[in-house]
Structure 1
Amino acid sequence: MDVFVYGTLTSPDRVAEVVDSYAFVGPARLHGLHLVRGRYPTLAPGGEAAGRLLRTDEHDRLDAYEGVNDGLYVRVSVPRTDGGEAAVYVGDPARLDADVEWPGDGSFADRVSTYLADADVRVEPLVDR
């Protein structure tokens, strides 16, 4: 599966430290979420974010790197404009000292899921220039 990456995982050196097998598919744009800075980069509702598509089957290692089991980030699936889906990691702004407010009630993961179900969030692969 492809993963939309927008922070430290856009660096080949960093990715090589995390997973054994990967390829960068090309640049991409995430519509419906925008980049915000905190202790680590994360995403917030609205706008767009530039990034890359990373292809790897080692999602468990990416999950560990992103702290999914500790609730630092959640991994969600987002539709691609060319069909299929891409994984996206969204960091909990409260844990990352980011000035972001996700709408809704419930846990951070629940609010992200609700927003994604209601908003037109999608990953657009771009032609590599």
Structure 2
Amino acid sequence: MAKAYIEHVAVYVKDIDWYIEFFNNTLGFTERMRKQESGQPKQVWLYGGIQLIEVPEDQAIGKLGHLGIMAEDQQNTLEKIKQYDVKPMPQGDNWWQLPDGLCIEILQANPETVRDILDVVPWQ
């Protein structure tokens, strides 16, 4: 069976700069990528698996945007997903909304990455 892991969690926030500073100063999560286009929310991806999406106060602040999931075999995983009661999303053929509204993005992992990540054992 093909395996996968959560690569990032996207969260809606009001003050993206506050969150960037917080995660950097407390956990050492530095900025990996930034996206800001006219008419679109400002987005920042941090090392450590967090994507911040800045939205106005009247939107779902603090709520989960989506789970970004790295799969060993993206195409096989997408075919399996289609067998369930899920809705495709406009972002692309690798985006799906599950019945209770949870959104997932399925990404293709680099070879060996999934196994390496899943082999990590948390210290107890």
TM normalised by structure 2 equals: 0.27
Higher relative helix content: 1
The answer to which structure, 1 or 2, has the higher relative contact order (CA under 8 A, 6+ apart) is: 1
Larger CA Rg, structure 1 vs 2: 2
TM normalised by structure 1 equals: 0.27
